């Protein structure tokens, strides 16, 4: 039973991914808790805190199969947390050694550490597919570096750009997101072990040794002190996902606009039936982009929930901590789904270069008015050049003639430029500035990723 489309066996094909759902699935979370309990038992066995054989015995049965779902649900309904039921099931499966499970730990120690392990696995999935997106966008940037198209500001023609540059601009923030993930990992990959109030008083002088041993056992770092009420790391993780979704949504927005019938320059990969309409056979809706936008908005709406959960009281929170499970798994699932949609678009986008050229020429050369003005400025001065070109633009618009023809009728222009010179100034491919250098710099940065 599911009420969230991202977890639905049907609608979940549009939101999220099975790989990320497997990381954050409820039973996977319980297994992570069992992994933490088993690691704790092994460390405490080595330190002589519990009998030497107890750690091995507990580890041997620390499998989610040892848990009874109905019993666990009843326990959660009564207690409010799953750890009591998890420990009960594990202790029963471990027999006599079960008396030593959960030694000196508190519920939040187990749940937080299990969550950190999930975050680590989730970030690894996202990083890998982020690299795939970077590679695909890099290939498109190189392929279309010379494909001139209309650059648009305020949804209107501005100056010529290339589609390769557009792809490089899409790519650039993805490099920063890889860096953010790499910088985030050390700030969130901390084991949680502090006992009832964050002092580990139950373990006497051995508390720190247990923290360090547990961290090493689980491949995590040992914090300077327990972080039960310090939630900046997990909140930052969702914040980074929100930023990534924002960048993915920028790509999706551009694709949607470029795919409009009146523009028709770029569309999503064609798959028979995808994006179809129940009544209009001709439709090929940009369905992947639409779900990137929907997922992105949902993830960004979860960011303030996670940040709000940072406002925790005293040594253990009365509510904010419990809000995190509502946001964190969904943020990871939706982000990964949006990312995979973006990878598919980047790899298979359909680019209509002929349509780009027709749209570029639609204004009869007005898109390069700035180029003409800058070309005339050394001869006439900037203000007179601007005036002459503006007059020619007005004539071109009023009469529906090419800008080159209107310029040839301007005495100040024709006295200094012949037809060939005017043609050069009105060629969009001649006014691309540092476009190639920008593409090269972005691609070089992408090649430097570890």
- Inform me whether the pLDDT recorded for 278 exceeds 60: no
277 is a catalytic site residue: yes
Residue 281: band (very low, low, confident or very high) from pLDDT cuts 50, 70, 90: low
Which has more confidence, 11 or 345?
Answer: 345
8 A C-beta contact, residue 244 and residue 126: yes
The answer to whether residue 438 is domain-embedded is no
pLDDT of residue 98: 94
**Does residue 235 share a domain with residue 324?**
yes
Answer whether residue 441 is part of any domain.
Answer: no
Is 227 exposed, middle or buried (CB count within 10 Å of its CB: 0-12, 13-18, 19+)? Answer: buried
Q: How many angstroms separate the CA atoms of 107 and 118, rounded?
A: 17
Q: What is the pTM of this model?
A: 0.92
Indicate the residue among 223, 238, 266 that finishes a domain.
223
Same domain (yes/no): 25, 84: yes
Residue with tokens 């038992």, as numbered in its chain: 41
Q: Which residue in 288, 293, 300 sits closest to 346, CA to CA? A: 288
Residue 381: the pLDDT is 86
Kindly state whether residues 315 and 418 are assigned to the same domain.
no
- Mean pLDDT for the stretch of residues 337-351: 97
Give the CA diameter of the chain: 102
Query: Are residue 239 and residue 299 in the same domain, yes or no?
Result: yes
Q: Is residue 374 part of a domain?
A: yes
Most confident of 17-31, 267-281, 316-330: 17-31
Give the rounded percent of residues in the chain with a pLDDT score beyond 90. Answer: 76
Q: Does the residue 252 lie in any domain?
A: yes
308 and 338 in a single domain? The answer is yes
User: Is residue 141 domain-shared with residue 283, that is, in the same domain?
Assistant: yes
Does residue 299 lie within any of the structural domains?
yes
- Mean pLDDT, to the nearest integer, of 430-447? 96
CATH of residue 123: 1.20.200.10
More confident residue, 77 or 276: 77
pLDDT, tens digit (0-9, with 9 covering 90-100), for 214-234: 999 999 999 999 999 999 999
**Which of 23-32, 105-114, 313-322 shows the lowest mean pLDDT across its residues?**
313-322
pLDDT, one tens digit per residue, over 355-411 is: 999 999 999 889 988 888 888 888 888 888 888 889 988 998 999 999 889 988 888
- Total number of domains in the chain: 3
Q: For position 172, what pLDDT does the model report?
A: 98
In a domain, 430, yes or no: no
2, 202, 277, 414: the catalytic one is 277
Q: List the CATH number of the domain containing 377.
A: 1.10.40.30
Q: By residue range, what is the domain housing residue 125? A: 107-190+227-352
Residue 217 resides in a domain:
yes
Domain at 1, CATH number = 1.10.275.10
**Residue the block writes with tokens 């049907």:** 10
Same-domain check for residues 161 and 204 = no
Same domain? For 199 and 186 the reply is no
Do both 81 and 203 map to the same domain? Answer: yes
| pLDDT tens digits, 117-157 | 999 999 999 999 999 999 999 999 999 999 999 999 999 99
Same domain, residue pair 47 and 123: no
Q: Which residue has the tokens 């979940």?
A: 12
Decide if 445 is inside a domain. no
Give percent of the chain with pLDDT exceeding 70: 97
Quick one: pLDDT at residue 3? 79
Same domain, residue pair 180 and 261:
yes
Q: Say if residue 159's pLDDT is above 90.
A: yes
Cα–Cα distance measured from residue 393 to residue 402, given in angstroms and rounded to the nearest whole number: 9
186 and 247 belong to one structural domain? yes
Mean pLDDT of the chain: 93
> Over 90: is that where the pLDDT of 14 sits?
no
> Of residues 92, 152, 316, 357, which has the active-site annotation?
316
| pLDDT recorded at residue 280 | 54
Task: Say what the pLDDT of residue 240 is.
Answer: 98
Decide if 441 is catalytic.
Answer: no
């Amino acid at each position: 039973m599911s009420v969230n489309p991202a977890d639905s066996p049907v609608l979940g094909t549009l939101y999220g991914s099975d790989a990320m759902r497997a990381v954050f699935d409820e039973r996977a979370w319980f297994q992570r808790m069992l992994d933490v309990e088993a690691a704790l038992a092994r460390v405490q066995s080595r330190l002589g805190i519990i009998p030497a054989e107890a750690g091995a015995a507990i580890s041997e049965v620390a499998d989610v199969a040892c848990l009874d779902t109905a019993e666990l649900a009843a326990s959660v309904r009564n207690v409010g947390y799953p750890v009591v039921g998890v420990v009960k099931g594990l202790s029963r499966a471990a027999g006599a050694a079960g008396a030593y499970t959960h030694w000196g730990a508190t519920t939040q120690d187990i749940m937080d550490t299990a969550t950190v392990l999930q975050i680590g696995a989730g970030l690894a999935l996202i990083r890998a597919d982020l690299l795939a997106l970077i590679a695909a966008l890099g290939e498109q940037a190189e392929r279309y570096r010379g494909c001139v198209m209309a650059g648009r500001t305020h949804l209107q023609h501005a100056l010529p750009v290339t589609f390769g540059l557009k792809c490089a601009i899409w790519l650039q923030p993805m490099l920063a997101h890889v860096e953010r993930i790499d910088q985030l990992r050390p700030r969130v990959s901390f084991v949680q072990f502090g006992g009832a109030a964050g002092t580990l008083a139950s373990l006497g002088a051995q508390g720190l040794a247990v923290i360090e041993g547990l961290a090493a056992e689980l491949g995590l770092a040992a914090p300077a002190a327990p972080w039960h009420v310090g939630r900046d790391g997990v909140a930052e993780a969702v914040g980074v996902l929100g930023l990534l979704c924002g960048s993915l949504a920028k790509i999706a927005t551009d694709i949607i606009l470029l795919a409009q019938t009146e523009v028709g320059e770029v569309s999503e990969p064609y798959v028979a039936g995808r994006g179809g309409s129940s009544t209009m056979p001709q439709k090929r809706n940009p369905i992947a982009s639409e779900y990137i936008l929907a997922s992105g908005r949902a993830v960004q709406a979860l960011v303030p929930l996670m940040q709000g959960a940072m406002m925790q009281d005293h040594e253990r929170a009365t509510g904010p901590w419990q809000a995190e499970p509502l946001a964190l798994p969904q943020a990871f699932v939706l982000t990964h789904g949006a990312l995979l949609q973006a990878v598919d678009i980047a790899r298979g986008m359909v680019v209509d270069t002929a349509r780009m050229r027709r749209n570029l020429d639609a204004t009869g050369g007005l898109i390069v008015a700035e180029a003409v003005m800058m070309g005339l400025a050394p001869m006439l001065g900037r203000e007179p050049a601007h005036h002459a070109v503006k007059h020619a633009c007005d004539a071109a618009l009023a009469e529906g003639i090419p800008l080159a023809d209107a310029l040839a009728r301007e005495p100040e222009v024709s006295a200094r430029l012949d037809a060939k010179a005017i043609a050069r100034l009105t060629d969009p491919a001649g006014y691309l500035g540092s476009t190639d250098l920008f593409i090269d710099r972005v691609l070089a940065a992408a090649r430097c990723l570890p």
